[in-house]
Amino acid sequence: MLFNSLDFLIFFPIVIGIYYLIPQKIRMYWLLAASYYFYMCWNAKYVLLLLFSTTVTYVSGLLIEKCAGGAREEKRQRQKKLCVAASFFLNLSVPFVFKYLDFGIESLNVILNRLHIALHAPEFDLLLPVGISFYTFQALGYTMDVYRGEIGAEKNFFRYALFVSFFPQLVAGPIERSQNLLRQLDKPSKLTFASLRDGCLLMLWGYFLKVVLADRIAVFVDTVYGDFETYTGVYLIVATLLFAVQIYCDFSGYSVIAMGAAEILGIRLMENFEAPYLAASVAEFWRRWHISLSGWFRDYLYIPLGGNRRGRLRKYGNLLITFGVSGLWHGADWSYVIWGLLNGAYQIIGDVLMPVKKKAAAFLEIKADSLSHRCLRSAVTFFLVDLAWVFFRADTAVSALRIIKRMVTAKNHWVWFDGSLYQCGLNQKNFTLMLWGILLLFAADICKYKKIKIREIVAKQDNWAQLLTMAAAVFIILLFGMWGAGYDAANFIYFQF
Amino acid sequence: MKKRAIKIFWAGMTVFLFAAGLWFMTKLLNPGQAYTKNKEFLEDGELYDILFLGNSHMTNAVYPMELWHDYGMASYNLAGYGNQIPTTYWMMEYALTSSHPQLVVMDCAHLKVEEKVQTKELLHAQIDCLPLNQEKWRMLGDLIEDPKERLEFVWDFAVYHDRWWDLGQDDFEKEINLEKGAKIEADVAKPLGLAQRPAQTALFTSTGTEYLRRIIEECQSRDIELLLVYLPYSASEEEWQEALCAEQMAKEYGVPYLNFLDLSVVDLSIDSYDPHEHLNGSGGRKVTAYLGAYLDQHYELADHRGEAAYSGWDEDYRRYTDYKLQLASSLEALDKYLMMLADPAFDCCVYINGEANVWGLEETYLPLVANLSGGRAERLEEASVSGEDYFLVLDRQKGQLYECVGEESLQTECSFGQARYEAGEDGARTLYLQDGEENYLHVTPQGGEAAVQIVVIDRETGNIVDSKRFDSRLAICTD
C-alpha cells in the first residue's frame, strides 16, 4: 500500500478513527493489526519474514538480558555476543537470500565466465520483500541496544512486534531507534488539535514533495536516462541535476508523510533529512541525509569497526567499509557499491586535503565563515554528491560511466535555450511548475537550516488561517500532483531497498 | 464553549470553501466533450420521440435538426464515439430514466466486438456529463471491471486535474452542441471501398450480440419501437457479417432492419470522412434524408412544429444553419467546401474556369460539383471534355438548376432574386445577384487567378452569406 494510493487514503482515516475511539489499553493491538494488514496488502506471504525477524530479535533481546545475570563476566559477555551474532546471522540471512543471493550468483557467473570456466550457477529470481532492509535494520538496532544495555529487553511481544512493524515507517523508514519508538509505543500521546494540525501539515508537505515534485521530475529524468544515447550533453546534465532533487523529494517526502502519520497517532518519529543539499561538505551531507540510516551505520558498524580511534588509515578503511556496505544496503548491484565507495572516497580525500584547503584559504584570504564561501562549498558538495548519484540512477556501473562521458563530450549547449528541454516528457508549463516547486523546496530547506520552523509559524496564526492553509495545500496537491487515472503511481524509489 | 464554536465555524467554512473550489475546478478542467454533446438531452429528455443510438457511425450520419426541419420530428442523437454495443445499451438504459421515446434507432456496427468498452477515454467522453444516479452506478458496475477504476468516472477530477496547463477560453466558455448530439464532419477522404456482400451469413454470438438482444428485449418490454440499422461505410467482408447477423437477429425478434450496405443511399467516394468508417456531412445528410422519409412513412411520429413545448426549436434550427455555414466558411479546401454545400439549406452559384486545371482533377472535384445538384448537373461533363468555362446556379427553393458552358450567358429570376451571368467573348465574366451592383466573379479578359468561384445563398433568408475563390493549382481558398 503506497502512501499516495487511494487504499492508504481510505485505510489511514479508518485506522485513526478506530484508534482514538477504542480504549487506550488496546490501541497498541489495533495498531499492530493495522500494521500487519498494511504490510500484507503488498504480499501476504511475506509477512512471515516480518514475523520471523520480529521473533528472532525479540527472543535474542530476552536472551541477551538473561545473560546479564548469573554466570561469570567473561562467560556472560561470550553468551551475549553469541546471542547478538545469532540474531544478526538469522536476521541478515533473510535479506541475503531475497536480496543478495542472486547478485552474488550473478557476480560469480561473470567471474567464471571471464575465467572461461564452463559453469553457470542458477539464479533464483526471488521477489524482494518490501522494506526488508528497513525493518531488519530496525530490529537489529534493537538487538544491539539491548546488548549495550541502552535499553532493557521488551517483555511484551506485541509491543515489540509493533515496534518492528509500525506501519508509517515500516517500508521506507525512518529506521527508528528502540529508545525512541518503544518508549512512545508504551504511552503514546493523546490526540490534540496541535498534533493533528502538525501531523496533517507534515503529511501535506510530504505529499507535495512526492506527488507534485518527485513524480513530476521523474517524468523528465526517466525520459532522459531511459535513452541516454539520444539525450546527451545538456539533457543528461539537467536530468542528473534534477535526479538529485527527485530522490530527495521522493525519499524525504515519504519520510515526512510517515512522520506526519505517526504524529497524528501520537508518536514522534525522528527527522530523517535536515536540508542535506545545503551541506558544506560530503561528511556534513551524510549527517543530514537519511539520518536514521547514517546514524545506524555509524553506531552499529563504523564505531564497532574502530571508527576514527585507531589511526588515520584504519579510519579511512572503516569509512570505505561503511559506505561500501551502505551502497550494498541500497541495492544489490555493483553500481550501488561504487556509489557508496565514491561517497566514502570523497570524505577521505576531503580529510586528506583539509590542511591544503586551509592553507589555500588563508593564502587567498578567504573567510571560512563568509556566506560566499559557504555557498561555494555547498555548490561543490552538491556537485560531488550529484556526480555520485549518476551511479545510483544508472542501470549499471558501465552505463553510469557512459552517461558521465556523454555529459561531458556531447556539445549541444543550445538545448538550454531552444525549448528542447520541454520535449522530455514535461511541457513548458509543467517544467516551469517544477522549477517553482524546487524553489519552494529550497526556501523550506533554508528555513530548516536556519532552524526556522514553518509549522510553528503556521501554528501561531488564527484558526481560520491554519485551516485555510491546509485546505489550500490539499487543493494544490490535488490539482498539481501526479496522481489519479492514467497515472500509474510510481513506487517510491526507496521501496526497492 | 465559544472558542469551540468558532473553531467549528471555521472548520465548516474551510470545508465549504475547499469543496466549492474543488467543484469549480472539477467542472472547469473537464474538457467537456460529453457535456457539450448531450447537455440538451439531459436537460429535457421528455421532449424526444426518437433516440438514435450507436457509435461514431451514428453520430456522423443522422442529423436530428434536419429531421426537425423536414418533418417536425423531435429526435436526439445519443450515439457516442467509440461506443461498443454494451456501452450503447447502458446509455439507452440511462436515457430511459428521464426520457420516454416512441422509437429507438440503433446502429449495429461493432456487433462482433467482445470488449464492453473501447477505451476509458472514449467512455469518459460519453458519460462524464451523466449525473450520478443508480443507473450510472449500475452502468459502471457492468462496464468497468476494476472497482477502483470506476471512481474516476464518479469523480472525473481524478482524470482531468492533470490538464490544468491546457486550460483555454473554451474551458471557461463551454459551447453547446447545436446538432442535437450529432456531429457533421467536414472532410472528404478516399474510401477503402465496400467489400462484396458475402454469400454466406454466419450467425455468431459475442458480447455485442448479447447486449443487442438486451436492447431489443428492453425496448419490447417497454413498448418502445425499435429500428435496427447498419449504417454505410467501407465495410470489410467481416464487417458485412455483422450487418447480416444483425439482419438475422432483427428477423428473429420481428424488428425492422435497414442495412445501408445494401442500399445505394450514399456514394462513399465523396461521402466518406475517413477511408474506413465515417460519413462526412454530405453522406450524413443523405442518410438523414433517407431515414427521415422512411420514418415518416413507417411510423406515426408527431410533427411538433408549432407546438409550444418546441417553440425554441426553430431558433435552434436557425443557429444550426448558421453553424453549418460557419463551418463551411472556415474551410479552405475546395473539396471540403463543395461537400459542405451539398446541403438543402444553401443555394449557390458556381463558376469554374475552363482553363484552370481543375478539369484535370475530374476524379476529385467533378463528382463533388455534381453532388451539389444531386446529380442533375447534366452539362458538367460537356464542359469538362471541351475545357470550357462552366457556370451553375442552384435554386433549391424552386427546385431549379441553371447551367452555362463556354460563352453562354444567363439571366434568371431565382427564389433568392435575380441572377445575371455574362460571358463576354473577350473572356471577361461577371455575375450580378439580386439586382445588386457587385460583381461576384473576378474574371477579366486577361483571365482570373481563381479556378473556381462560389457564391452561397441562405435558402431560408435569401441572403448572400459567403463567397469564395479557389486557387487554380491546389484548389485552396485564396480569399
- d(CA A72, CA A52) in angstroms, rounded, equals 31
Alpha carbon of residue B284 to chain centroid: 6
CB-CB: which of B18, B151, B165 is closest to A475? B18
Are A239 and A225 in contact by the 8 Å Cβ rule? The answer is yes
Give yes or no for residue A486 having a pLDDT over 60: no
- d(CA B382, CA B362) in angstroms, rounded, equals 12
Residues of A in contact with B159 (CB under 8 A): 484-486
Closest CA–CA distance from residue A18 to any residue of chain B (Å): 22
Report if residue B2 sits inside a domain.
no
Task: Output A67 or B1, whichever has higher pLDDT.
Answer: A67
> What is residue B122's three-state secondary structure?
helix
* Beta carbons within 8 Å of A304's beta carbon, 6+ residues apart: none
**By mean pLDDT, which of A103-117, A223-237, B396-410 is the weakest?**
A103-117
Task: Output A207 or A127, whichever has higher pLDDT.
Answer: A207
pLDDT range class, residue A347, cuts 50, 70, 90: very high
Are A142 and A61 in contact by the 8 Å Cβ rule? The answer is yes
Q: Which three three-digit cell numbers place residue B433?
A: 445577384
A485/B159 touch (CB, cutoff 8 Å), yes or no? yes
Q: A194 and chain B: CB distance < 8 Å anywhere? A: no
Sheet containing B417-423: order of strands: B410-414, B417-423, B429-433
Give yes or no for residue A106 having a pLDDT over 60: yes
Average pLDDT of the segment spanning A356-379? 86
* Beta carbons within 8 Å of A442's beta carbon, 6+ residues apart: none
B159/A463 touch (CB, cutoff 8 Å), yes or no? no
DSSP string, B194-254: PPPPPSS------HHHHHHHHHHHHHHHTT-EEEEEE--S---HHHHHHHHHHHHHHHHHT
Task: Look at chain B and report how many structural domains it folds into.
Answer: 2
pLDDT range class, residue A462, cuts 50, 70, 90: confident
Ranked by mean pLDDT, the top range of A117-121, A339-343, B382-386 is: A339-343
Which amino acid, residue B186? A
Claim to verify: residue B197 and residue B60 sit in the same structural domain = yes
Give yes or no for residue A344 having a pLDDT over 80: yes
Options A116, A120, A290, A330, the catalytic residue: A330
Task: Kindly give the pairing relationship between strand B450-458 and strand B346-352.
Answer: antiparallel
| CA neighbor of B259 nearest in space, from B271, B267, B250 | B250
**By mean pLDDT, which of A351-355, A366-370, B233-237 is the weakest?**
A366-370
Claim to verify: residue B279 and residue B418 sit in the same structural domain = no
Average pLDDT of the segment spanning B328-354? 89
Closest CA–CA distance from residue B167 to any residue of chain A (Å): 11
Claim to verify: residue B252 and residue B343 sit in the same structural domain = no
Average pLDDT of the segment spanning B329-333? 88
**Locus of grid cell 522494506:** A131
Residues of B in contact with A471 (CB under 8 A): 14-15, 17-18, 21
B7/A468 touch (CB, cutoff 8 Å), yes or no? no
Phi-psi region of A307 (alpha: psi -120 to 50; beta: other; left: phi over 0): left
pLDDT range class, residue B457, cuts 50, 70, 90: very high
Q: What are phi and psi of B415, to 5 degrees?
A: -65, -25
* Residue from A215, A432, A435, A467 whose CB has the most chain B CBs within 10 Å, to mutate: A467
Give yes or no for residue B446 having a pLDDT over 70: no
Task: Kindly give the pairing relationship between strand B225-230 and strand B257-259.
Answer: parallel
* Beta carbons within 8 Å of A193's beta carbon, 6+ residues apart: B7
Are B283 and B271 in contact by the 8 Å Cβ rule? The answer is yes
CB pairs under 8 A between A and B: 56
Claim to verify: residue B155 and residue B40 sit in the same structural domain = yes
Sign of the CA dihedral running B251, B252, B256, B257:
negative
Closest CA–CA distance from residue A474 to any residue of chain B (Å): 9
> What is residue A428's three-state secondary structure?
helix
Give yes or no for residue B67 having a pLDDT over 60: yes
**By mean pLDDT, which of A192-206, A310-324, A438-452, B416-430 is the weakest?**
B416-430
Average pLDDT of the segment spanning A199-215? 94
Ranked by mean pLDDT, the top range of A76-85, A102-111, A381-390, B420-429 is: A381-390
Give yes or no for residue A70 having a pLDDT over 80: no
Residues of A in contact with B6 (CB under 8 A): 463
pLDDT number for residue B13: 84
A484/B25 touch (CB, cutoff 8 Å), yes or no? no
Ranked by mean pLDDT, the top range of A190-204, A236-250, B39-53, B319-333 is: A236-250
Claim to verify: residue B171 and residue B39 sit in the same structural domain = yes
The domain boundary, picked from B288, B319, B350, lies at B319
pLDDT number for residue B357: 61
Give yes or no for residue B217 having a pLDDT over 90: yes
Give yes or no for residue B89 having a pLDDT over 80: yes
Report if residue B375 sits inside a domain.
yes
Q: What are phi and psi of B449, to 5 degrees?
A: -75, -30
Assess whether A330 carries a catalytic annotation: yes
pLDDT number for residue B448: 60
Q: A363 and chain B: CB distance < 8 Å anywhere? A: no
Query: Which pLDDT tens digit goes with each residue over B13-29?
Result: 888 888 888 888 888 88
Q: A486 and chain B: CB distance < 8 Å anywhere? A: yes
pLDDT number for residue B362: 65
Report if residue B281 sits inside a domain.
yes
Q: Which three three-digit cell numbers place residue B214?
A: 438486451
- d(CA A2, CA B197) in angstroms, rounded, equals 55
Q: B410 and chain A: CB distance < 8 Å anywhere? A: no
Q: What crossing angle do the helices spanning A334-363 and A312-330 adopt, rounded to 10°?
A: 140
**By mean pLDDT, which of A33-37, B328-332, B360-364 is the weakest?**
B360-364
Report if residue B63 sits inside a domain.
yes
CB-CB: which of A474, A486, A487 is closest to B18? A474
Q: How far apart are the first and last CA of chain B?
A: 76
Phi-psi region of B50 (alpha: psi -120 to 50; beta: other; left: phi over 0): beta
pLDDT number for residue B111: 93
The domain boundary, picked from B258, B289, B319, lies at B319
pLDDT number for residue A251: 92
Segments forming the whole domain that contains residue B307: 31-319
pLDDT number for residue A497: 38
Which amino acid, residue B277? E
Report if residue B207 sits inside a domain.
yes
Residues of A in contact with B158 (CB under 8 A): 483-485
pLDDT number for residue B277: 83
- d(CA B122, CA B118) in angstroms, rounded, equals 7
B157/A471 touch (CB, cutoff 8 Å), yes or no? no
Query: Which pLDDT tens digit goes with each residue over B148-192?
Result: 888 888 888 888 888 888 888 888 887 778 899 999 998 888 888
Residues of A in contact with B22 (CB under 8 A): 475, 478
Task: Kindly give the pairing relationship between strand B225-230 and strand B103-107.
Answer: parallel
CA angle A116, A122, A123 (to 5 degrees): 120
The interface predicted TM-score of the complex, written ipTM, equals 0.74
In chain B, what are the helix, strand and coil shares in percent, each to the nearest 5?
45, 15, 40
- d(CA B105, CA B50) in angstroms, rounded, equals 7
pLDDT range class, residue A401, cuts 50, 70, 90: very high
- d(CA B435, CA B440) in angstroms, rounded, equals 12
- d(CA B45, CA B62) in angstroms, rounded, equals 18
Give yes or no for residue B279 having a pLDDT over 90: yes
Report if residue B148 sits inside a domain.
yes
- d(CA B268, CA B271) in angstroms, rounded, equals 5
Residues of B in contact with A427 (CB under 8 A): 165
pLDDT number for residue B360: 65
The domain boundary, picked from B319, B346, B361, lies at B319
Count other Cβ atoms within 10 Å, centred on residue B374: 13
pLDDT number for residue A206: 95
* DSSP label at residue B108: -
Q: Which residues, listed in sequence order, are joined to residue B229 by a DSSP beta bridge?
A: B107, B258
Closest CA–CA distance from residue B119 to any residue of chain A (Å): 12
Q: Tell me the pLDDT of chain B averaged across its residues.
A: 88
* Beta carbons within 8 Å of A492's beta carbon, 6+ residues apart: A2, A3, A172, A210, A250, A251, A253, A254
Claim to verify: residue B275 and residue B350 sit in the same structural domain = no
Q: Cis peptide before A174, with omega less than 30 degrees from 0?
A: yes
Claim to verify: residue B311 and residue B441 sit in the same structural domain = no
pLDDT number for residue A80: 84
- d(CA A54, CA A64) in angstroms, rounded, equals 15
Claim to verify: residue B70 and residue B196 sit in the same structural domain = yes
pLDDT number for residue B212: 95
Claim to verify: residue B296 and residue B194 sit in the same structural domain = yes
Claim to verify: residue B312 and residue B336 sit in the same structural domain = no
Residues of B in contact with A1 (CB under 8 A): none
> What is residue A99's three-state secondary structure?
helix
CB-CB: which of B11, B120, B151 is closest to A467? B11
pLDDT range class, residue A15, cuts 50, 70, 90: very high
pLDDT range class, residue B50, cuts 50, 70, 90: very high
The model's pTM is 0.81
CB-CB: which of A429, A467, A486 is closest to B10? A467
| CA neighbor of B467 nearest in space, from B423, B433, B437, B444 | B433
Query: Which pLDDT tens digit goes with each residue over A215-254?
Result: 999 999 999 999 988 898 999 999 999 999 999 999 999 9
* Residue from A466, A479, A480, A487 whose CB has the most chain B CBs within 10 Å, to mutate: A479
Give yes or no for residue A496 having a pLDDT over 70: no
Q: What is the CATH number of the domain that holds B194?
A: 3.40.50.1110
pLDDT range class, residue B276, cuts 50, 70, 90: confident
Burial class (CB in 10 A: 0-12, 13-18, 19+), A125: exposed
pLDDT number for residue B21: 87
Claim to verify: residue B118 and residue B262 sit in the same structural domain = yes
Claim to verify: residue B260 and residue B185 sit in the same structural domain = yes
Report if residue B7 sits inside a domain.
no
Report if residue B102 sits inside a domain.
yes
% of residues, chain B, pLDDT over 70 = 95
Q: Which of residues 339-398 of B touch A (CB under 8 A)?
A: none
Closest CA–CA distance from residue A341 to any residue of chain B (Å): 41
pLDDT number for residue B314: 93
Average pLDDT of the segment spanning B274-298? 93
Give yes or no for residue B45 having a pLDDT over 60: yes
